[in-house]
Chain A
Amino acid sequence: MTTTPPTTAATAGAPLLRARGVVKRFGKFVALHGIDLDIMPRTVHSVIGPNGAGKTTLFHTLTGTLSTSEGSIVFDDHDVTPLADHQRVQRGIARSFQVTSLFANLSVRENLRLAAQGVHRSGAFNGWHRPEGVRAHAGTVDQTLQRMGLEKQADITAGLLSHSQQRRLEVGMALAARPKAIFLDEPTSGMGIDDLDAMKALIRGLRDDHTVVLIEHNMGIVMDISDTITVMQQGRVLVEGKPDDIRRDERVRTAYLGNMITGGRA
């Protein structure tokens, strides 16, 4: 996108998102044991770890899909801990889902329009006018269509798209909100080998305008495009660092990642 979303956390070096002691319990089961996380603006920050490490739960608590049991989340100088997901969208947080979650019966264009409209909460209660003119958010929608390579599919029902196209729309939905931070939960899951490079380039490009938080199993992608990597294990942060540090880290190597870290796919 050409326009840059405004960043109020202007001072370089201050994190856009600061999570402290985030705990998430489901009954007696503790999914997150006090996570501390700093996400720096204009970076790609990846969260990796084996299945069940709590990556997606962490994502859910950061984006507001789930509430936190304890701890605080400050985003862009605002405490967003008590806010629901739809309220955090207004603050500039947008996300995609690991399992594709679209408006399957609506057109691709309508999906993106709804995502673009969601940030403008007052306009959404207009019960008299059609989503036309300024209400169509055509600029944002067209830009997103182009960026995701879905221009030809604009008028197709989202449920009829191919898997790879649906995955791209899934990311596009987060992008259409023009967020400050974009949370991508395994954007490449189930994608064919041909589409991986395009998605990788796309995510890397997002860093120019957004802050990207990424859960990804494909180590090739993670190592190539991340500025920072947080490794999770059993609901805790094991290590955090630059890709090279993570690759070399003995705990990560021996503990559980094994040869996966060298580039094999999980």
Chain B
Amino acid sequence: MTRLGSHVQLLLAVATVLILPLVMHSGSLASEVLIYALAVLGCNLLLGYTGLLSFGQGIFFGLGSYALGIALTRFDLPVLATLVLAVVVGAVAAMFVGWFAIRQRGTYFVMLTLAFSQMFYFLAYSLSDITGGDNGLLDIPRPALGLTGRPLLELSSPWQFYGFVAVCFVLVFWALLRLTNSVFGRTLLAIRDNEARAAAVGYDVKLFKLAAFAISGGVTALAGAFLALMTGIAPLSSIEYHTSEMILVMTVIGGTGNLFASVLGAAFYVLFADWLSTLWPRWLMLLGFLLIAVSLFMHRGIWGLGETIWLRLRGRPPIDPDDGSVATLGPVAPAAATGTTANTATATTRSEKRP
């Protein structure tokens, strides 16, 4: 990604934050878009930048909800402190899960994250004294943002709350943009591309993956905490396997390897679900069709589709659908887009063979 590219992405993210209130009636729904966008950003860091398909994102999301719920209902901590707490809890849990999961690759990595997902669900279910079990945590207050006990900013109305989430969202988005373009982030890309070579040139691959996990867990937990703060409940469903699946689906639909694609994926899913669920109770089936279409024809998700259309309109050749997602990542997108295709095929097959 060029410097311009990441500026454009930040600009797009800020624009989204500003446009949502203009086109939407419900502040809660708008907040929900940004909250899930945060969770999807966390997932994208693992899937798009590190090549890890984690079915454990719901763990961190749920733990974030619980951490905030418990801190606010039992300990009466200030809101900002509870959010920080949620991030820490999420990051620590992610390091725990990651420490085991990254020992394996491919299928077994996925199965391990799935197993932990189940484990944490039943843990939350059985520890009903702490988590409220089947009922979840209820009546989570939403106190005003304050400094040393003095309330400064009310969060009670949906649009006030949206404003707060929006500021946090932009900050996190900006930090993740820097991260993905940093020396560290570029190394993650290298690990995704060729793990054996990354180790052979001196990188401790496991440590990098663990760090990516921790960051992803922290960001995802922040999303979970925001949702609990908004809805006033931390339901058992927030730590359910279904949450992991939903976050993954949003990530894939939006497109991986580009941070703004995650915002698109979350917005599309949340708004599509909101609209369709009022029309047809079986709307999830349509989502299934869409996922099939994305998996078959548009690996780069909605972002990739948009990019292809944009390039077509400007009369430039579209990026090869299988290779493009990664080609746009590197600082060499134009060369990849216009270069000869003979070697692209071999390069793609080679990278696909790796787990």
Contact = CB atoms under 8 A, between A and B. Distances in A.
A binds B: yes
A86 interface: yes
B336 interface: yes
A107 B330 contact: yes
Contact of B201 (A115, A127, A135, A157): A115
Interface in A207-230: none
Contact of B204 (A86, A104, A156, A162): A86
Interface of B is mostly: helix
Nearest to B193: A103
B330 to A, nearest CB: 5
B202 A129 contact: no
Contacts of B183: 117, 123-127, 129-131, 135
B178 interface: yes
A63 B201 CA distance: 11
Interface in B315-355: 323, 326-327, 329-332, 335-336, 339-340, 343-344, 346-348, 350-351
Contacts of B339: 156-157, 160
B332 A89 contact: no
B200 A89 contact: yes
B211 A106 contact: no
Contact of B187 (A85, A97, A124): A124
A244 interface: no
Interface in B146-195: 178-179, 181-187, 189-190, 193-194
Interface string A123-142: 11111111100010000000
Given A90-B202, A126-B183, A127-B184, A105 B197 contact: no
Contacts of A131: 182-183, 186
B205 interface: yes
A155 interface: yes
Nearest to A99: B350
Interface residues of B, number: 44
B18 interface: no
Nearest to B347: A159
Interface string A165-183: 0000000010001000000
A31 interface: no
A261 interface: no
Contacts of B323: 105
A191 to B, nearest CB: 16
Interface residues of A, number: 45
A63 B178 CA distance: 34
Contact of A86 (B189, B199, B332): B199
Contacts, number: 150
B196 interface: yes
A128 to B, nearest CB: 6
B187 A105 contact: no
A53 B335 CA distance: 42
A126 B331 contact: no
A176 to B, nearest CB: 8
B192 to A, nearest CB: 9
A250 to B, nearest CB: 38
A160 B343 contact: yes
A177 B185 CA distance: 20
A94 B323 CA distance: 29
A174 B196 CA distance: 14
B203 A118 contact: yes
A206 to B, nearest CB: 17
A129 B329 CA distance: 17
16 contacts: A65-B196, A86-B199, A86-B200, A86-B203, A95-B200, A105-B326, A105-B329, A106-B190, A117-B183, A124-B203, A125-B183, A127-B183, A155-B332, A157-B327, A159-B344, A159-B346
Interface of A: 63, 65, 84-87, 89-90, 94-95, 97, 101-107, 110, 114-115, 117-119, 121, 123-131, 135, 155-162, 173, 177
7 closest cross-chain pairs (CB), A and B = A159-B347, A118-B202, A89-B202, A118-B201, A105-B326, A127-B184, A107-B332
